[in-house]
């Protein structure tokens, strides 16, 4: 009998297939004692397992490239953390086996992170994966992970570690469903990059029996268990219609009456560029530069290395617009040479621009590298700072750009509610705004972007978030400047229409979402988008906002 479940749709598309579950987690090792003379041998075993797991994660990252590479390299650094190594060695010295010492040391660190108000909940999931991989290697059992199957399937998991998501085979994994996660979690972002339909934050997903046929709608978040033949036919027809519309839609982003809305790509490095070009991106709206800095947490990359990487991206968009975000470190992206290790609440501490202003040499080197990378190229380079709180921050960043001799537009990201509320003041110092809706939602609703339990507050359809977008766009219009969106909100085709109606001047997203957004925008006039935006803002909940906007655009 067909039943319907609802989670959070995070990656467009329809998947129909049999359920396969992730491999079971590693069992807890027995707590047996070893004689003192075995301690050195066990410490060597632990060290070798850690090195092997770190190497495996880095190799997976090299294969995946792009954003996935940065995430996996961060995991490798986590595995090799000197404090964790020291704790493992201490536990072995007092009688633990290597596997038990690793298990207990990582459990203690996990409890520490979880106790910090769950601001690092996303890192907890990554840490669990590191623990499982090291312990599995020490026990000599198969790694937990994606199941072996010769037939395509829908993957079900409590959560997906980046190491698993990064190397999913889209020819076998039709889609995936997780119990945990949110619309801006690592898994959601990587799913969109892969173009795999995905639904997260679905309570009870793990109870779906192996082999059960389900239909997944990655746009609405609906899961149909044992769908009828009629339901399958409806979904497949809708998917075919969507594919036809995508292939027919080409060229620059615009509404049906010709209002231009440039559609840009979010990239993590040179590896993400081919997909962006293939999708018809009109440039880059968010170039995340963290991937370069994650190679070595002890020191920043050289100016020469930065110039080489930046130029590869800039060359791919001749006469296009490339918006570079300077290093956004801190919170869930700590770097030993830049961010404090003992902050009680890192998400509210020294991160983003705050870190760079505390280390002006790092910022100066990056800005100088960007200036050199753009020399002789016709690209329209724009550089923006993350986590700008007020005009003082904006002025400090603009001054640093000028001092570095950077010939580009300087901008500020709006990720903190104060920046939206005082956007017009900030625009006295910079030339454009870019809304990072992921963090803006996190700080507006005090809802960690990695915690599935608060995913409803991370929904970019929340009317309060739309109000902040509108404030920023109105301020930019009043100052004759631009205001784009580079958060994951832009990847929702319906919401892209609403953002356009709110006055946003460009939209940037994962490359896989660009065709969907282009095709949807082309169906409606600017006036329709504006009416949909007004209807969404008048609602009280995210679900009501989406329904109201849909009703306006469908002519109901």
Buried residues in 263-285 as b, exposed as e (16+ CB within 10 A) = bbbbbbbbbbbebbeebbbbbbb
> 75-80: which pairs have CB atoms within 8 A and are 24 or more residues apart?
75/126, 75/129, 75/130, 75/161, 75/162, 75/163, 77/294, 77/297, 78/123, 78/126, 78/127, 78/130, 79/50, 79/53, 79/54, 79/130, 79/133, 79/134, 80/50, 80/51, 80/54
- Angle among Cα 73, 77, 80 to the nearest 5 degrees reads 140
The two three-digit tokens of residue 39, written as one number: 């301690």
Q: How far apart (Å, rounded) are the C-alpha atoms in residues 367 and 356?
A: 11
Q: CB–CB of 371/406 below 8 Å?
A: yes
Q: CB–CB of 195/217 below 8 Å?
A: no
Beta strands 506-509; 380-385: pairing state: unpaired
| Helices H / strands E in the chain, number of each | 22, 16
Closest by Cα among 157, 404, 290, 400 to 412? 400
Is 21 annotated as catalytic? Answer: no
The DSSP secondary structure of 487-546, one letter per residue, reads SGGGGSHHHHHHHHHHT--EEEE-GGGHHHHHHHHTTS-HHHHHHHHHHHHT-SSHHHHH
Phi, psi of 512 (to 5 degrees): -65, -25
The DSSP secondary structure of 27-54, one letter per residue, reads PPPP--B--GGGHHHHHHHHHHHHHHHH
Residue 334 is classified by DSSP as -
What does the chain come to in residues?
Answer: 556
Q: Which residues contact 411 (CB under 8 A, 6 or more apart)?
A: 323, 382, 383, 384, 385, 430, 431, 432, 433, 434
Q: Determine which one of 186, 359, 401, 483 is catalytic.
A: 186
Q: Determine which one of 12, 401, 483, 486 is catalytic.
A: 486
Is 486 annotated as catalytic? Answer: yes
The two three-digit tokens of residue 296, written as one number: 């070595």
| Sequence-ordered alpha helix ranges (H) in 316-436 | 353-358, 360-374, 391-403, 417-421, 423-426
Q: CB–CB of 146/168 below 8 Å?
A: yes
Closest by Cα among 455, 372, 449, 423 to 199? 455
Q: How far apart (Å, rounded) are the C-alpha atoms in residues 67 and 169?
A: 17
Q: CB–CB of 292/269 below 8 Å?
A: yes
Pick left, alpha or beta for residue 133 (phi over 0 → left; psi -120 to 50 → alpha; otherwise beta): alpha
Active-site amino acid positions? 186, 486
């Amino acid at each position: 009998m067909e039943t319907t479940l609802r989670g959070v749709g995070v990656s467009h598309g329809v998947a129909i297939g049999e359920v396969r579950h992730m491999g079971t987690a590693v069992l807890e090792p027995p707590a047996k004692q070893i004689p003192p003379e075995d301690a050195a041998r066990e410490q060597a075993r632990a060290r070798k397992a850690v090195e092997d797991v770190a190497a495996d994660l880095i190799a997976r990252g090299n294969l995946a490239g792009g954003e996935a590479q940065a995430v996996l390299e961060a995991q490798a650094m986590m595995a090799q953390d000197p404090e964790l190594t020291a704790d493992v060695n201490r536990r072995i010295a007092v009688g633990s086996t290597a596997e038990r010492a690793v298990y207990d040391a990582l459990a203690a660190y996990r409890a520490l992170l979880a106790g910090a108000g769950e601001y690092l909940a996303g890192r907890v999931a990554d840490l669990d994966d590191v623990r499982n991989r090291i312990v599995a290697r020490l026990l000599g059992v198969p790694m937990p992970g994606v199941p072996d199957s010769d037939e395509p399937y829908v993957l079900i998991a409590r959560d997906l570690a980046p190491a698993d998501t990064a190397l999913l085979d889209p020819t076998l994994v039709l889609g995936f469903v997780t119990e945990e996660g949110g619309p801006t979690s690592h898994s959601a972002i990587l799913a969109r990059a892969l173009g795999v339909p995905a639904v997260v934050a679905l309570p009870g997903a793990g109870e779906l029996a192996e082999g059960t046929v389900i239909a997944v709608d990655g746009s609405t978040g609906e899961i149909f268990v044992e769908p009828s033949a009629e339901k399958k036919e409806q979904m497949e027809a809708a998917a075919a219609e969507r594919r036809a519309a995508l292939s027919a839609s080409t060229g620059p982003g615009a509404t049906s009456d010709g209002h231009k809305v440039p559609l840009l790509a979010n990239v993590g490095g040179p590896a993400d560029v081919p997909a962006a070009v293939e999708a018809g991106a009109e440039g880059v709206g968010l170039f995340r530069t963290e991937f370069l800095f994650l190679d070595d947490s002890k020191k920043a990359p050289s100016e020469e290395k930065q110039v080489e990487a930046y130029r590869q991206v800039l060359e791919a968009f001749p006469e296009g617009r490339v918006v570079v975000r300077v290093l956004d470190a801190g919170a869930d992206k700590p770097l030993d040479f830049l961010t404090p290790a003992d902050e009680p609440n890192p998400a509210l501490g020294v991160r983003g621009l705050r870190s760079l202003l505390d280390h002006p040499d790092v910022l100066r080197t990056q800005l100088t590298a960007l200036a050199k990378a753009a020399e002789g190229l016709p690209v329209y380079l724009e550089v923006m700072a993350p986590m700008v709180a007020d005009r003082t921050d904006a002025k400090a960043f603009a001054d640093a750009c000028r001092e570095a001799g950077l010939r580009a537009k300087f901008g500020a990201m709006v990720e903190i509610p104060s920046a939206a509320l005082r956007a017009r003041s900030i625009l006295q110092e910079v030339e454009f705004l870019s809304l990072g809706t992921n963090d803006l939602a996190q700080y507006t609703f005090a809802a960690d972007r990695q915690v599935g339990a608060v995913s409803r507050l991370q929904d970019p359809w929340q009317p309060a978030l739309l109000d902040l977008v509108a404030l920023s766009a109105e301020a930019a219009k009043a100052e004759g400047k631009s205001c784009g969106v580079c958060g994951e909100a832009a990847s929702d085709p319906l919401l892209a229409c609403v953002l356009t109606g709110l006055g946003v001047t460009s939209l940037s997203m994962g490359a896989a979402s660009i065709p969907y957004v282009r095709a949807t925008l082309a169906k409606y006039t600017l006036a329709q988008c504006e009416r949909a935006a007004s209807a969404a803002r008048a609602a009280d909940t995210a679900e009501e906002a989406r329904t109201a906007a849909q009703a306006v655009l469908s002519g109901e």
